[in-house]
Amino acid sequence: MTTPERTSPIDQARMMADFNQAAPRYEAEARLQKEVASRLFERLPPHVSPQCIVDVGCGTGGLTRLLAEHYPKAQVYALDIATAMLQEAQQQAPRWFSRQHFCCADAAHLPLATNSVDVLMSNLMLQWCSDEAQFFAECARVLKPDGVLLFTSFGPGTLEELRNSWAALDQAPHVNDFTDLHVLGDAMTQAGLRQAVMDVDWLTLTFADVPAALRHLKKIGAQNALSLRSRGLLGRRKYQQLVENYRQYQQADGRIPATYEVIYGYAQGAAFPGQQRQTDGSVKIPLEMLQRSKI
């Protein structure tokens, strides 16, 4: 099984450009991302004592810094595909911590050795992957069998106010696709990861008005990166109609909401790292991985 194809694939070049442009102001604007990172960090099993930790899609390094401070003896690797984000993370890293490393990398092709990672975490990165199944396959490859994966991603209910407001104007995709938690859970199992657990939380940001909500998305780089997005300029009349449509969600206090469905995922490493589960549930194991038992 593979995750279903998106209505429109992610335009990786556009996505990277948006995040690179947003990097200098991201830390000040990304309050929801910081809150979710904190909640994800709290879900780390208390018994883990990792030697190697990887933060995939580290952004400006908020979660990376939490991990480095909590596990000062571990090697902590921060990975991101946007170079400007990675540079911000490196600049904000504590100077006293020499075991923190930064690498520009694609989540679908992790530059890590098989069976080498104790803890792999990823905060609100997965929704920017065109192929979630490939990411989970990489997680299964690099994690040790007793290693753990913890991640967050946005679910289909995210930005429903904005999505519905656009839908009343035209049928073009204006909000990124987000994958359901059940599909992500199945993809983890298919990749060979064990003991997969999924749950969901709902968070709401509020803004003074609709333009403020739209500016916030632009400031953190979370714009429409779909390949089939409209490339034309948004005219004044259409923009005003979008604002009017969005105002139907205005709260009693006059503020404008933006709802986020946050998916949390947990899994343990594959029993045989790098060996993807087959469609019939079996796992193919090369003969060289088998050892003769001694009696």
Structure confidence by residue, pLDDT tens digits, 14-72? 888 888 898 899 888 999 999 999 999 999 999 899 999 999 999 999 999 999 999 99
Paired tokens of 222: 């979370």
Per-residue pLDDT of 246-274, as tens digits, reads 999 999 999 999 999 999 999 999 987 65
pLDDT at residue 100 greater than cutoff 80? yes
What's the CA gap between 195 and 265, in Å, rounded?
A: 10
Pairing mode, if any, of strands 256-268 and 143-154?
antiparallel
Pairing mode, if any, of strands 75-80 and 52-56?
parallel
Q: pLDDT value at position 218? A: 84
Q: What is the CATH number of the domain that holds 86?
A: 3.40.50.150
- What is the DSSP code string of 3-55? PPPPSS-B-HHHHHHHHHHHHHHHHHH-HHHHHHHHHHHHTS-TT---SEEEE
pLDDT at residue 284 greater than cutoff 60? no
Q: pLDDT value at position 275? A: 55
pLDDT at residue 74 greater than cutoff 70? yes
Position 151 in a domain: yes
Amino acid at 55: D
Contact partners, residue 295, CB within 8 Å, separation at least 6: none
What's the CA gap between 171 and 229, in Å, rounded?
A: 10
Position 187 in a domain: yes
Taken in order 160, 165, 169, 172, is the CA torsion positive or negative?
A: negative
Taken in order 86, 92, 93, 96, is the CA torsion positive or negative?
A: positive
Position 212 in a domain: no
Q: pLDDT value at position 294? A: 38
Per-residue pLDDT of 164-196, as tens digits, reads 998 888 877 677 889 999 999 999 999 999 999
Phi, psi angles (nearest 5°) of residue 102: -125, 135
Contact partners, residue 139, CB within 8 Å, separation at least 6: 110, 120, 149, 188, 191, 193, 267
Position 293 in a domain: no
Position 63 in a domain: yes
Residue spans of beta strands (DSSP E) within the chain: 52-56, 75-80, 100-104, 117-123, 143-154, 194-207, 256-268
Position 181 in a domain: yes
Provide the pLDDT confidence category of residue 102 given band limits of 50, 70 and 90: very high
Number of Cβ atoms within 10 Å of the Cβ of 282:
8
Q: pLDDT value at position 62? A: 95
Position 270 in a domain: yes
Q: Which of 185-189, 215-219, 253-257, 284-288 has the lowest mean pLDDT?
A: 284-288
Q: pLDDT value at position 217? A: 86
Coil, strand or helix at 158 = coil
As for how many domains the chain has, the answer is 1
Coil, strand or helix at 159 = coil
What domain range includes position 61? 12-156+177-202+260-274
Position 147 in a domain: yes
